[in-house]
Structure 1
Amino acid sequence: MLMVTDLFGILRRLELTPTATNILSVMVDKQNPGGVVPLTQQDIAEELQILPSVVSRSMTLLVERGLVLRKGYRYRLHPAIAGYNTELEMQAAMARAAREGVPPILIPDYQKAPPKAGPTRLRVAG
Protein backbone atom coordinates (compact mmCIF):
# COMPACT_ATOMS: atom_id res chain seq x y z
CA MET A 1 0.00 0.00 0.00
CA LEU A 2 1.08 3.56 -0.69
CA MET A 3 1.22 6.05 2.17
CA VAL A 4 1.38 9.86 2.05
CA THR A 5 3.44 10.24 5.23
CA ASP A 6 6.19 8.13 6.67
CA LEU A 7 4.25 7.67 9.92
CA PHE A 8 7.13 6.10 11.77
CA GLY A 9 9.33 9.07 10.93
CA ILE A 10 7.17 11.35 13.10
CA LEU A 11 6.15 8.76 15.67
CA ARG A 12 8.77 9.74 18.27
CA ARG A 13 7.76 13.41 18.09
CA LEU A 14 4.13 12.50 18.84
CA GLU A 15 5.13 11.29 22.32
CA LEU A 16 2.66 8.42 22.38
CA THR A 17 2.60 5.84 25.12
CA PRO A 18 4.00 2.41 24.22
CA THR A 19 0.45 1.01 24.29
CA ALA A 20 -0.84 3.75 21.96
CA THR A 21 2.06 3.03 19.60
CA ASN A 22 1.20 -0.68 19.61
CA ILE A 23 -2.47 0.05 18.95
CA LEU A 24 -1.58 2.37 16.09
CA SER A 25 0.68 -0.32 14.63
CA VAL A 26 -2.18 -2.84 14.69
CA MET A 27 -4.49 -0.30 13.06
CA VAL A 28 -1.97 0.49 10.31
CA ASP A 29 -1.41 -3.23 9.72
CA LYS A 30 -5.12 -4.17 9.63
CA GLN A 31 -6.49 -1.13 7.77
CA ASN A 32 -8.41 -1.34 4.53
CA PRO A 33 -7.20 0.86 1.67
CA GLY A 34 -8.15 4.43 2.51
CA GLY A 35 -7.52 3.97 6.21
CA VAL A 36 -10.79 2.40 7.40
CA VAL A 37 -9.96 0.12 10.32
CA PRO A 38 -12.34 -2.86 10.44
CA LEU A 39 -11.58 -3.56 14.10
CA THR A 40 -13.37 -2.71 17.32
CA GLN A 41 -11.57 -1.80 20.51
CA GLN A 42 -12.36 -5.33 21.70
CA ASP A 43 -10.67 -6.78 18.58
CA ILE A 44 -7.59 -4.65 19.21
CA ALA A 45 -7.52 -5.67 22.89
CA GLU A 46 -7.61 -9.34 21.89
CA GLU A 47 -4.91 -8.83 19.26
CA LEU A 48 -2.58 -7.19 21.80
CA GLN A 49 -3.75 -9.31 24.76
CA ILE A 50 -4.61 -6.26 26.87
CA LEU A 51 -7.76 -5.03 28.58
CA PRO A 52 -10.34 -3.12 26.51
CA SER A 53 -10.16 -0.26 29.04
CA VAL A 54 -6.44 0.13 28.24
CA VAL A 55 -7.29 0.29 24.53
CA SER A 56 -9.94 2.91 25.26
CA ARG A 57 -7.51 5.19 27.12
CA SER A 58 -4.88 4.89 24.43
CA MET A 59 -7.43 5.41 21.66
CA THR A 60 -8.35 8.72 23.30
CA LEU A 61 -4.72 9.82 22.93
CA LEU A 62 -4.61 8.73 19.27
CA VAL A 63 -7.82 10.65 18.53
CA GLU A 64 -6.54 13.70 20.44
CA ARG A 65 -3.37 13.72 18.34
CA GLY A 66 -5.49 13.46 15.16
CA LEU A 67 -3.93 10.19 14.01
CA VAL A 68 -7.23 8.32 14.35
CA LEU A 69 -10.61 9.71 13.34
CA ARG A 70 -13.60 8.36 15.22
CA LYS A 71 -17.18 8.21 14.03
CA GLY A 72 -19.30 6.43 16.60
CA TYR A 73 -17.63 3.09 17.17
CA ARG A 74 -15.85 3.11 13.81
CA TYR A 75 -12.26 4.22 13.30
CA ARG A 76 -10.17 5.31 10.38
CA LEU A 77 -6.64 6.56 10.10
CA HIS A 78 -5.99 10.18 9.25
CA PRO A 79 -5.80 10.43 5.43
CA ALA A 80 -2.16 11.55 5.67
CA ILE A 81 -1.13 8.25 7.31
CA ALA A 82 -3.63 5.89 5.68
CA GLY A 83 -2.59 3.40 3.02
CA TYR A 84 -3.93 3.42 -0.53
CA ASN A 85 -3.89 0.98 -3.45
CA THR A 86 -2.94 3.60 -6.02
CA GLU A 87 -1.53 7.08 -6.19
CA LEU A 88 -4.83 8.24 -7.74
CA GLU A 89 -6.76 6.96 -4.68
CA MET A 90 -4.30 8.73 -2.42
CA GLN A 91 -4.66 12.04 -4.29
CA ALA A 92 -8.47 11.78 -4.24
CA ALA A 93 -8.47 11.07 -0.49
CA MET A 94 -6.22 14.04 0.23
CA ALA A 95 -8.41 16.34 -1.90
CA ARG A 96 -11.54 15.05 -0.09
CA ALA A 97 -9.86 15.61 3.28
CA ALA A 98 -9.03 19.19 2.30
CA ARG A 99 -12.64 19.83 1.22
CA GLU A 100 -14.10 18.24 4.36
CA GLY A 101 -11.71 20.01 6.70
CA VAL A 102 -10.18 16.91 8.29
CA PRO A 103 -8.37 18.02 11.48
CA PRO A 104 -4.57 18.12 11.31
CA ILE A 105 -2.21 15.72 13.04
CA LEU A 106 -1.08 17.40 16.26
CA ILE A 107 2.23 16.97 18.01
CA PRO A 108 3.21 18.28 21.45
CA ASP A 109 4.99 21.62 21.35
CA TYR A 110 7.24 21.69 24.38
CA GLN A 111 9.84 24.41 24.80
CA LYS A 112 12.16 22.44 27.12
CA ALA A 113 10.55 19.30 28.55
CA PRO A 114 7.05 17.85 28.73
CA PRO A 115 4.95 19.29 31.54
CA LYS A 116 4.38 17.10 34.57
CA ALA A 117 0.61 17.63 34.71
CA GLY A 118 -2.21 19.64 33.19
CA PRO A 119 -3.49 20.06 29.65
CA THR A 120 -1.11 19.52 26.77
CA ARG A 121 -0.16 22.15 24.24
CA LEU A 122 -0.44 20.79 20.74
CA ARG A 123 0.64 22.13 17.37
CA VAL A 124 0.06 21.03 13.80
CA ALA A 125 2.60 18.50 12.51
CA GLY A 126 4.77 19.92 9.80
Structure 2
Amino acid sequence: MTTTALLGLLYRLQLTPTAIDVLSVMFERAEAGGDVPLKQSEIDEVLGVGQASMSRAMALLVDRGLVLRSGNGRGHRYALNPAIAGYESEDEMKQEMTNLLALGGPPSITVPEYNRRPPKQGGRGGLHAVA
Protein backbone atom coordinates (compact mmCIF):
# COMPACT_ATOMS: atom_id res chain seq x y z
CA MET A 1 0.00 0.00 0.00
CA THR A 2 1.34 3.42 -0.86
CA THR A 3 0.92 6.57 1.15
CA THR A 4 -1.49 7.77 -1.53
CA ALA A 5 -3.58 4.60 -1.10
CA LEU A 6 -3.55 5.18 2.67
CA LEU A 7 -4.93 8.68 2.20
CA GLY A 8 -7.75 7.20 0.15
CA LEU A 9 -8.58 4.87 3.06
CA LEU A 10 -8.45 7.42 5.87
CA TYR A 11 -12.21 7.82 6.10
CA ARG A 12 -12.64 4.02 6.37
CA LEU A 13 -10.00 3.66 9.09
CA GLN A 14 -12.27 5.61 11.48
CA LEU A 15 -9.39 7.54 13.02
CA THR A 16 -9.96 10.36 15.46
CA PRO A 17 -8.77 13.85 14.51
CA THR A 18 -5.99 13.51 17.10
CA ALA A 19 -4.88 10.17 15.62
CA ILE A 20 -4.74 11.77 12.16
CA ASP A 21 -2.62 14.61 13.58
CA VAL A 22 -0.29 12.13 15.31
CA LEU A 23 0.08 10.14 12.09
CA SER A 24 0.85 13.35 10.21
CA VAL A 25 3.65 14.27 12.63
CA MET A 26 5.02 10.73 12.41
CA PHE A 27 5.09 10.88 8.59
CA GLU A 28 6.77 14.29 8.73
CA ARG A 29 9.51 13.15 11.12
CA ALA A 30 9.97 9.50 10.03
CA GLU A 31 13.30 8.31 8.75
CA ALA A 32 13.59 6.29 5.55
CA GLY A 33 12.05 2.89 6.19
CA GLY A 34 9.57 4.25 8.72
CA ASP A 35 11.45 4.53 12.03
CA VAL A 36 10.15 7.49 14.02
CA PRO A 37 12.86 9.04 16.21
CA LEU A 38 10.32 10.68 18.53
CA LYS A 39 8.90 9.53 21.83
CA GLN A 40 5.18 9.79 22.41
CA SER A 41 5.78 12.75 24.75
CA GLU A 42 7.75 14.55 22.01
CA ILE A 43 4.89 14.11 19.55
CA ASP A 44 2.57 15.51 22.22
CA GLU A 45 4.87 18.54 22.57
CA VAL A 46 4.41 19.22 18.86
CA LEU A 47 0.62 18.83 19.00
CA GLY A 48 -0.18 19.89 22.56
CA VAL A 49 -3.07 17.45 22.94
CA GLY A 50 -2.30 16.08 26.41
CA GLN A 51 -1.07 12.70 27.60
CA ALA A 52 -4.46 10.93 27.74
CA SER A 53 -5.52 12.01 24.23
CA MET A 54 -2.07 11.19 22.92
CA SER A 55 -2.17 7.68 24.43
CA ARG A 56 -5.63 6.98 22.99
CA ALA A 57 -4.59 8.21 19.54
CA MET A 58 -1.40 6.16 19.55
CA ALA A 59 -3.27 3.05 20.74
CA LEU A 60 -5.73 3.47 17.87
CA LEU A 61 -2.93 3.82 15.31
CA VAL A 62 -1.22 0.70 16.69
CA ASP A 63 -4.54 -1.18 16.74
CA ARG A 64 -5.16 -0.32 13.07
CA GLY A 65 -1.63 -1.50 12.16
CA LEU A 66 -0.52 1.87 10.80
CA VAL A 67 2.06 2.28 13.55
CA LEU A 68 4.26 -0.45 15.01
CA ARG A 69 5.31 -0.30 18.66
CA SER A 70 8.29 -2.04 20.21
CA GLY A 71 9.81 -1.93 23.67
CA ASN A 72 8.23 -2.05 27.11
CA GLY A 73 6.76 0.49 29.50
CA ARG A 74 7.91 4.03 28.89
CA GLY A 75 10.63 2.88 26.50
CA HIS A 76 8.36 2.32 23.49
CA ARG A 77 9.80 2.99 20.08
CA TYR A 78 7.53 3.65 17.13
CA ALA A 79 7.72 3.05 13.39
CA LEU A 80 5.33 3.44 10.52
CA ASN A 81 4.10 0.21 9.00
CA PRO A 82 6.66 -0.63 6.26
CA ALA A 83 3.82 -0.81 3.73
CA ILE A 84 3.19 2.95 4.12
CA ALA A 85 6.67 4.18 5.13
CA GLY A 86 8.82 6.35 2.91
CA TYR A 87 12.10 5.11 1.47
CA GLU A 88 15.20 6.75 0.02
CA SER A 89 14.66 5.07 -3.32
CA GLU A 90 12.41 2.67 -5.16
CA ASP A 91 15.17 0.04 -4.97
CA GLU A 92 15.29 0.39 -1.17
CA MET A 93 11.51 -0.05 -0.98
CA LYS A 94 11.63 -3.13 -3.25
CA GLN A 95 14.37 -4.68 -1.11
CA GLU A 96 12.43 -4.05 2.10
CA MET A 97 9.24 -5.51 0.64
CA THR A 98 11.16 -8.55 -0.67
CA ASN A 99 12.61 -9.11 2.83
CA LEU A 100 9.18 -8.76 4.41
CA LEU A 101 7.53 -11.09 1.89
CA ALA A 102 10.10 -13.76 2.78
CA LEU A 103 8.90 -13.41 6.40
CA GLY A 104 5.19 -13.52 5.52
CA GLY A 105 4.64 -9.96 4.38
CA PRO A 106 4.34 -6.59 6.12
CA PRO A 107 2.03 -6.29 9.13
CA SER A 108 -1.54 -5.91 7.99
CA ILE A 109 -3.51 -2.70 8.22
CA THR A 110 -6.91 -3.20 9.83
CA VAL A 111 -9.79 -1.44 8.12
CA PRO A 112 -12.94 -1.74 10.26
CA GLU A 113 -16.06 -2.91 8.52
CA TYR A 114 -19.54 -1.91 9.57
CA ASN A 115 -21.76 -4.83 10.56
CA ARG A 116 -24.68 -2.44 10.27
CA ARG A 117 -25.23 1.08 9.03
CA PRO A 118 -23.48 3.77 11.03
CA PRO A 119 -25.79 6.01 13.08
CA LYS A 120 -27.07 9.18 11.46
CA GLN A 121 -25.96 12.52 12.83
CA GLY A 122 -28.60 14.26 14.97
CA GLY A 123 -32.21 13.14 14.96
CA ARG A 124 -33.86 10.88 17.52
CA GLY A 125 -31.74 9.02 20.00
CA GLY A 126 -28.77 11.35 19.64
CA LEU A 127 -26.90 13.02 22.47
CA HIS A 128 -28.69 15.90 24.15
CA ALA A 129 -27.45 18.57 26.51
CA VAL A 130 -28.69 18.33 30.06
CA ALA A 131 -29.34 21.52 31.95
- Report the TM range for the smaller structure's normalisation: 0.7 to 0.9
Answer with 1 or 2: which has the greater Rg.
2
Which of structure 1's runs of 4+ aligned residues deviate more than 6 A? none
Instruction: Specify every segment of 5 or more residues in structure 1 that has no aligned partner in the other structure, as ranges.
Output: 116-126
Structure 2 residue 108 is matched with structure 1 residue 109: no
| 1:27-106 correspondence to structure 2 within 5 Å | 27-72=26-71, 73-101=76-104, 102-106=106-110
| Aligned-residue CA RMSD (Å) | 1.7
- Name the SS of the counterpart of 1:69 in structure 2: strand
- Name the SS of the counterpart of 1:70 in structure 2: strand
TM-score scaled by structure 2? Answer: 0.79
**How many residue pairs end up in the alignment?**
113
Higher strand fraction: Structure 1 or Structure 2?
Answer: 1
CA distance in 1, matches of 2:30, 2:57: 18
Q: Does structure 2 retain, via aligned residues, the 8 Å contact 1:4–1:90?
A: no
TM-score scaled by structure 1? Answer: 0.82
User: Could you say which residue in structure 1 is the equivalent of 2:123?
Assistant: none
Percent of residue pairs bearing the same amino acid type? 51
User: Whose relative contact order is higher, 1 or 2, with alpha carbons under 8 Å and at least 6 apart?
Assistant: 1
Instruction: Specify every segment of 5 or more residues in structure 2 that has no aligned partner in the other structure, as ranges.
Output: 120-131
Cα drift, residue 114 of structure 1: 4.2
Larger mean CA deviation between 99-108 and 17-26 belongs to 99-108
